Amino acid sequence: MAGIIEKEIDAVVGLILNDYNLDRPAASGESRYIDKMELFGQPERDIIIEMVCKLRRILFPGYFRDKSYRLYSIGHNLSALIGDVIYNLNKQIGIALRFSPKFENAAEGDIEIAAQHISLAFFRKIPDIRQALELDLDAAYDGDPAASSKEEIVFAYPGLTAITVSRLAHELYLLGVPLIPRIMTEYAHSLTGIDIHPGASLGRYFFIDHGTGIVIGETTEIGDNVKIYQGVTLGALSTRGGQSLRGKKRHPTIEDNVTIYSGASVFGGETVIGEGTVIGSNAFIVSSVPPGSRI
């Protein structure tokens, strides 16, 4: 048995390398996407995830600080941190914009200028994001008697983690940045089990309790003071239309002061859940309900 791999390894390596033939047309007449080898022309997922962690430190400076920080230089350290994230975000946005049809044939200089404007516009939104997160923190504390303190929520609650990343990613989504927002929210998804598309619009004072298994689709609109529990799906009624449905309202609208209990599913772009409605566990809803309903 010894030596079999040594005898066959060259043939196996050659077989795989031959499968990378970029000149071979796929069934559609184009080269396969999985054969791309532009290693330095793709957004770098590890750097984007690192930026998410640093952005959390910027949003919550007293909670997620770097171990090398010192109290007497907190202002200086935050300034350096902000500068570092802007630099890396600008670089990643510049790469990602090449995947946007808007910049498909744009000159390199135009892409660089656009990336810088987007990076600055995003950071100008940080105070607004922090204000929204303060209200989300209030909603979690006010709505959960199991929470012993707001510090516990910031450190430990997956719902607030998912909402934090979603609010960051949503701003980049609104600014027209491809790829990066979804990488951010899928990173949060992997940490929390909560899947929020960066296109989803989240209202103020939003509380996700427990959270595991929640899915919130791209065109979902959520009002203020909404509370949802684990296993809730806010989804599309059908996706059989595929890419022909791009840009259309496919997911529900949840008005203010709505509570949706565990396992409930609400589907459809024309579905509106009226203000003050309470949806019980495991309900399946595919049409609008009036304000104040009990389902």
pLDDT tens sequence across 78-132: 898 999 999 999 999 999 999 999 998 899 999 999 999 999 999 999 999 999 9
- The structure tokens 């500068």 sit at 83
CATH 2.160.10.10 domain position(s) in the chain: 200-239+247-295
Distance CA 192, CA 169 (A): 16
The class level of CATH for 42-193 reads mainly alpha
Residue extent(s) of CATH 1.10.3130.10 domains in the chain: 42-193
- Per-residue pLDDT tens digits for 174-211: 999 999 999 999 999 999 999 999 999 999 999 999 99
Q: How deeply is 49 buried, as exposed, middle or buried, from its count of CB atoms within 10 A (0-12, 13-18, 19+)?
A: middle
CATH, domain range 200-239+247-295: 2.160.10.10
Rounded mean pLDDT, 52-81: 79
Record the pTM.
0.89
Region 230-250 average pLDDT:
83
Taking the C-alpha atoms of residue 194 and residue 163, their distance in angstroms, rounded to an integer, is 9
CA–CA gap between residue 168 and residue 238 (Å, rounded)? 28
Distance CA 164, CA 154 (A): 10
Q: In sequence order, what E strands does the chain have?
A: 195-196, 207-209, 215-216, 221-222, 227-229, 233-235, 253-254, 259-260, 265-267, 272-273, 278-279, 284-285
- Provide the strand spans (E) within 162-279: 195-196, 207-209, 215-216, 221-222, 227-229, 233-235, 253-254, 259-260, 265-267, 272-273, 278-279
